[in-house]
Structures are given as structure tokens and as C-alpha cells.
Amino acid sequence: MLELQNDALPIMEFFYTIQGEGFHSGRPAIFIRTAGCDVGCVWCDVKESWTISADQYLKIEHILNEIKNFPSKFIVITGGEPLMHDLSRLTKTLKEAGYEIAIETSGTALKSGLIDWYCFSPKKFKAPVEEAYHLANELKIVINHQSDFSWAEEQAEKVRFECALFLQPEWDKKERFLPQIIEYVKENPKWKISLQTHKFMNIP
């Protein structure tokens, strides 16, 4: 975990949009995208978030000032891999301002900060910490290969019973895998389908 530098975090961008994936799909949300990733998914569509530059460090007060005029009080902290960083001060400040906070993480680092909704999307490229399975409110598995279906079941066995389970086709392979996911979910109704609806709607 990277420490805060002068009460600042490396932020690639923040923007107001509609959550396109998973449990909160369709909900207006403020996205805070941290810079830096130690996982490196081959299908990542924001590879520019993998690195950190000195000019990306923003004061927490600056972040709050930039987002306070958005009408939603729902924030999604994403990356990159946000748990590379100590999120304690950021989330404390956001909670004090009345925000609900979700995080999207591969679970490769221990949680820091105050998180209301933990979206856990483990990857084969780097093993998650055991804590992630116990914290997960939502398990989201990206289907990129035929073997990912059985891998998804292995991951589902480790999360809590009440954790919401989602299968999501990798965007560039959706024509191949979405029909299979549909049939799989029909046969295994504990799962739901997650789609990147923001891409269909052509919004960030």
C-alpha cells in the first residue's frame, strides 16, 4: 500500500456518470479513478491508469471541492487498483460530507478506509488477499476464456452466502461469450449477468 503524500492521492480523473456494471448498474455515480495498478489485466480499457506521475497527486480537499457540486451522493472509487493506496483520509472526508462509498477492486491489497460497498473482481494474474472474500458485497468475474466459468465457481465458493454474484463478458469477446453466459446463468441461477451498459449507451 502506498502512503499518502502530503495529504494527497494520485488521481487520474474524476467524473460524473451512470454506473454501467454490476449491482449498482444504472445508478448515477461520481467516479474517482486512482492512478497506479499492480495487476495489469490484458483487457483493461484504461491502461493509462497503470502508472503514476508526480503531477497526479491531488489534495483531498481539492478532490472534495471538485465533486461537491455533482447532485449524486454515491461515489465509486476505482482504478487502476485503488487499494494500492491508503484511502483512510479520503474516505473519512467523504463520509463526513455525507457520501456513500463503493470501491471496485481486484482485492490484491488489504482494505483501508470506510467503504460501504465492496465490489470484488479477482483476476488470475495476481492472487487476491484472503480478506477480500470476506469483505465482498459483490463478486464480479470477467469471462475472457472458457476456463473462466469453472474459475468463477471456485471464487464463488469463497465469498459469503449473501454476496451478489455476477458474470460479465469481456467487451471485445461479448459476441462469443454472452450467449454462453446467458445459458450458464439460466442453469445456475445464483449468478446474474453484468454488462458494460455504459459502452452501449456511449457514456464514460
- The string of pLDDT tens digits covering residues 100-128 is 999 999 999 999 999 999 999 999 888 99
What is the per-residue pLDDT across 149-160, written as a single tens digit (0 to 9) for each? Answer: 999 999 999 999
What CA–CA distance (Å, rounded) separates 157 from 171? 25
Q: What is the pLDDT of residue 115?
A: 98
Assigned C-alpha cell, 50: 497503470
Q: Are 120 and 128 in contact (CB under 8 A)?
A: yes
CB 14 within 8 A of CB 60: no
What lies within 8 Å, CB to CB, of 192 at 6+ separation is 164, 165, 166, 167, 185
Q: Which domains does the chain have, with CATH numbers?
A: 8-200 (3.20.20.70)
Is 183 in contact with 193 (CB distance < 8 Å)?
A: no
